[in-house]
Amino acid sequence: MLVSNNNSQFNLSRIRHQFPALRRSDGVVQAAVFSDAPGGTQMPMDVIEAMSGYLHKGTANLGGVFSTSLETAELVKQARSITGQFLNAPQNCIVFGANMTSLTFSFSRAISRTWQAGEEIIVSMLDHDANITPWVLAAEERGCTVHKMTVTDEVNLSVSELQRLLSEKTCLVAFTLASNVTGSITPARELIQAAHDAGVKVFVDAVHYAAHHLIDVSELDTDFLVCSPYKFCGPHLGVLYGKSELLESIEPYKVRASINHPPGSWENGTQNFEAIAGLIACIRYHGWLTDSKPDRAGLENSAHWISQHEEHISEQFLKGCRDIDGVTLYGSPETLNRTPTFALTKAGRSSAQLAELLAERGVYAWSGHCYALDLIRHLRLESFDGVLRIGFVHYHTEDEVFRVLNALEDI
């Protein structure tokens, strides 16, 4: 199982060996295929051990003068620093929270206090509901209007649509870097530029994108970004990035007794320190993929390998899909500007039935709306009960892609 990356070779077996869950079989002859990855990835041993290691050593809250509390403070500092490398951001711009949805709800409550009645916000139909409803509810409370960017025929966002909706009343644009349903990668840099040209701040959802490409907040120039490490082999945790001057100037929704300056002032209640320990190990794991350090250069090496491997997987899957009778793919049929996440229907079966039949064959996959309610409605897929979503990440093999294709054909 060798995968080429320029002139070097990386052994996928070595990578998969790190993941005990990938050996799970559920009584089916072969090991399970975790093509439910867009819903959450599996964890390598180093991450599992880092989480339990922190608890073994002794846990404490922040702010004490005794060693476990001091060690926890050091752990959080290290986690901000390494996450800064992962996002190409200064460490004081990294905020931890329970998950993306909770962070977005609390952040939207805080920033919306700066909005005036009659102002407007723009969200997108392509997005997961976690980047729509928090904004819609905040807008309702503030007497603001919500506009939704519609999607193109290729199931993506377009700069012209954003420009059509932007006005002097717009106070925020929120959209995703990649669709968790169709895998479409949005033209984020251009969308952010268009919003900034109109003097509007941007909040992007990188939850799906982060598993597939290295985020660069500095290059994107986004004002805010959220992601969730459990989608890229880390623990169940959320991360928010904000430009430092904005985290300073916006008043967080917080209790009086907690820290008064960012990033801590944006972190509500006691953090999940064992997950934060796991996040450090997760980003180190990303460097380890190509025997690199978990600094920006090392993470870029690994991201390059991930892109190449995932492009190959996408190519195999897209090619195989074309030959299966009755299968319709939603989103781009090309490998360009997509992640290896595929939204499908198959004539004669509901998506829930497809997922059940795949599960019987040891293939895990999600079906339904995958929380992208507006997109499923826009694609008129309610009669199919949403889509069947097949998703791969860097630890998947070509053999697994063929197993999914064979199972789909067989059904």
Ligand X SMILES: Cc1ncc(COP(=O)(O)O)c(C=O)c1O
Cβ at position 238, least distance to ligand X in Å: 5
Cβ at position 377, least distance to ligand X in Å: 17
> Which residue in the block uniquely carries the two structure tokens 């069947």?
388
Give the pairing of strands 366-368 and 387-391. antiparallel
> Which residue in the block uniquely carries the two structure tokens 């200064």?
90
Report which DSSP code applies to 314: H
Q: Does 338 bind ligand X (CB under 6 A)?
A: no
Mark the segment that binds ligand X (CB under 6 A) among 29-37, 95-103, 160-168, 333-341: 95-103
Q: Does 130 bind ligand X (CB under 6 A)?
A: yes
Neighbour-count burial of 356, counting CB atoms closer than 10 A to its CB (0-12 exposed, 13-18 middle, 19+ buried): middle
Q: Does 100 bind ligand X (CB under 6 A)?
A: yes
The dihedrals phi and psi of 347, each to the nearest 5 degrees, come to -55, 135
> Which residue in the block uniquely carries the two structure tokens 């959320």?
238
Identified binder of ligand X from the candidate list 80, 147, 208, 309, rule CB under 6 A: 208
Strand, helix or coil at 11?
Answer: strand
# binding residues, ligand X (CB under 6 A) = 13
Identified binder of ligand X from the candidate list 133, 228, 272, 301, rule CB under 6 A: 228
Q: Which is nearer to ligand X, 101 or 182 (CB)?
A: 101
Cβ at position 13, least distance to ligand X in Å: 29
The total number of residues shown for the chain amounts to: 411
CB 101 within 8 A of CB 130: yes
Which residues contact residue 102 at a Cβ distance below 8 angstroms, ignoring those fewer than 6 apart? 238
Q: Does 188 bind ligand X (CB under 6 A)?
A: no
Cβ at position 206, least distance to ligand X in Å: 8
Spatial distance between the Cα atoms of 107 and 32, rounded to a whole number of angstroms: 38
Mark the segment that binds ligand X (CB under 6 A) among 6-14, 28-36, 98-106, 132-140: 98-106
Q: Which is nearer to ligand X, 83 or 228 (CB)?
A: 228
Q: Does 123 bind ligand X (CB under 6 A)?
A: no
Spatial distance between the Cα atoms of 365 and 190, rounded to a whole number of angstroms: 33
52's tokens: 């339990």
CB 99 within 8 A of CB 228: yes
Q: Which is nearer to ligand X, 236 or 296 (CB)?
A: 236
Q: Does 35 bind ligand X (CB under 6 A)?
A: no
Spatial distance between the Cα atoms of 288 and 304, rounded to a whole number of angstroms: 13
Identified binder of ligand X from the candidate list 72, 124, 133, 180, rule CB under 6 A: 180
Identified binder of ligand X from the candidate list 101, 133, 170, 182, rule CB under 6 A: 101
Q: Does 184 bind ligand X (CB under 6 A)?
A: no
The two counts, helices (H) then strands (E), for the chain are 14, 15
Mark the segment that binds ligand X (CB under 6 A) among 69-77, 96-104, 244-252, 305-313: 96-104
Neighbour-count burial of 307, counting CB atoms closer than 10 A to its CB (0-12 exposed, 13-18 middle, 19+ buried): middle
Cβ at position 310, least distance to ligand X in Å: 17
CB 246 within 8 A of CB 172: no
Q: Does 156 bind ligand X (CB under 6 A)?
A: no
Q: Does 207 bind ligand X (CB under 6 A)?
A: yes
Spatial distance between the Cα atoms of 165 and 360, rounded to a whole number of angstroms: 46
Mark the segment that binds ligand X (CB under 6 A) among 1-9, 84-92, 126-134, 182-190: 126-134
Q: Does 128 bind ligand X (CB under 6 A)?
A: yes
Mark the segment that binds ligand X (CB under 6 A) among 48-56, 58-66, 201-209, 391-399: 201-209
Which residues contact residue 88 at a Cβ distance below 8 angstroms, ignoring those fewer than 6 apart? 215, 216, 217, 218, 219, 296
Q: Does 247 bind ligand X (CB under 6 A)?
A: no
Mark the segment that binds ligand X (CB under 6 A) among 21-29, 93-101, 259-267, 306-314: 93-101
Pick the closest to residue 363 from 386, 334, 382, 342 (CA basis): 342
Pick the closest to residue 48 from 302, 274, 292, 237 (CA basis): 274
Q: Does 287 bind ligand X (CB under 6 A)?
A: no
Q: Does 205 bind ligand X (CB under 6 A)?
A: yes
Q: Which is nearer to ligand X, 38 or 264 (CB)?
A: 38
Q: Which is nearer to ligand X, 180 or 302 (CB)?
A: 180
Residues that bind ligand X (CB under 6 A): 99-101, 128, 130-131, 176, 180, 205, 207-208, 228, 238
